[in-house]
Amino acid sequence: MTNKIEKVTLDTTATLTAFLTALDAADVAETARFNNTESAIQLLKPLRAQYATLQDGRSKGKKPAAGELPAVIYFEVIESIYNNKKRIAEEQKLDFTLNYGHYRDFQVKSLKYYIETGDLLNNKKSTLQERVMVAIDRLEKKLKAEQAKLEKAKIDADKAKAKADKAAADKATTTAKVEAIIDDVHQFFDDNPEGADAIKEELFDTITAAEFLQKNAVETDNKAQTEKAQTEKVQAKTEKTVDDLTVKLEKAKAKLSAPKAEPKPDLSNVEFSKDCRAEMLDVLETLSKDYSDVELLCLASLIRKRCTPSKA
């Protein structure tokens, strides 16, 4: 039993350590992405101020036209970066399968696009932990406000109940008094008909006034009971809102230990831009030179399988 508990403890510790480390690494990478993209945007500005496009790569060795970034410069830089990647991989004894021709062509196309359009945007920095904490903060503020409303609803409900109880008690007291007065008048008619007949108008007025008091007491009680029911309904609704928000808050906090995977795109609904399609046709043309039709078909099948969302 002890060994089993120790194993669970060790396994949980290892899993939790790996999870938090991975989460932290993802957030560090997101911060690095944001900062590097910001740097790239600032570095692109002086390049675009000096150059409007790239010199055609086939014109390497020739004098570039005005506003063209010389091919000899960007080819040299791209090759230098590629060689540095390769050197680092060799030093770290990592597999390096990046083809220089493919890498160079992609970098040239990207550089040409950025120089000509300046279309280099930076997505807002949004780390996993930041997104969850923003959601938690928002839910906590809303929950706090709803809890304050609930406290007020409880106070209002208590006041409404006290008012309803008093109205009910007043109605009972008034009804008893009115019934006693009416009984006394009737008894007076029975005991002293002549005397009662002499003041019958006053006696009837007394009965009418007593019945009016009773009617008011009943209406007051009915109104108080209605207000009590409405207040209790508001209280119940607010309590449900607080309960729902509490559940949502707990779910948001749980996301810190269970990050949601991004859904895969449905290829049947994707609309591709002309630039994207043209660029991918160039990539396909390059791949066709290095791989057979069978290998390309296999690659297409693997890509579709990877990008198509699995059905529940």
For the stretch 79-127, pLDDT in tens is 999 999 999 999 999 899 999 999 999 999 999 999 999 888 877 776 7
Q: What are phi and psi of 54, to 5 degrees?
A: -100, 145
CB atoms closer than 10 angstroms to residue 245: 18
Average pLDDT, the chain: 80
For the stretch 163-214, pLDDT in tens is 888 878 877 887 777 777 777 777 766 777 776 667 767 767 777 877 787 7
For the stretch 191-205, pLDDT in tens is 777 766 677 677 677
Phi-psi domain of 218 (left: phi exceeds 0; alpha: psi -120 through 50; beta: other): alpha
CB atoms closer than 10 angstroms to residue 238: 20
Q: In this structure, what token pair is assigned to residue 43?
A: 């570095």
Provide the pLDDT for residue 269: 54
Of 24-28, 90-94, 187-191, 287-291, give the range with the top mean pLDDT.
90-94
Q: In this structure, what token pair is assigned to residue 106?
A: 């992609």
Using 50, 70 and 90 to split pLDDT, how confident is the model at 275? low
Rounded Cα distance between 267 and 284, Å, is 18
Provide the pLDDT for residue 104: 92
For the stretch 57-77, pLDDT in tens is 887 678 889 999 999 999 999
178-to-83, 192, 201 alpha-carbon distances in Å: 106, 21, 18
Rounded Cα distance between 242 and 142, Å, is 9
Q: How many residues does the chain have?
A: 312
Q: In this structure, what token pair is assigned to residue 134?
A: 């923003």
Of the listed ranges 24-38, 68-82, 285-299, the least confidently predicted one is 285-299
Using 50, 70 and 90 to split pLDDT, how confident is the model at 268? low
Helix (H, G, I), strand (E, B) or coil at 253: helix
Domain boundaries along the sequence of the chain: 2-126, 130-254, 261-312
Strand 68-69 relative to strand 53-54, pairing: parallel
Provide the pLDDT for residue 309: 54
Give the mean pLDDT of 217-232.
Answer: 83
Minimal CA–CA distance to 247: which of 133, 132, 141, 143?
143
Of the listed ranges 34-38, 102-106, 150-154, the least confidently predicted one is 150-154
Cα 212–Cα 214–Cα 216 angle in degrees, nearest 5: 70
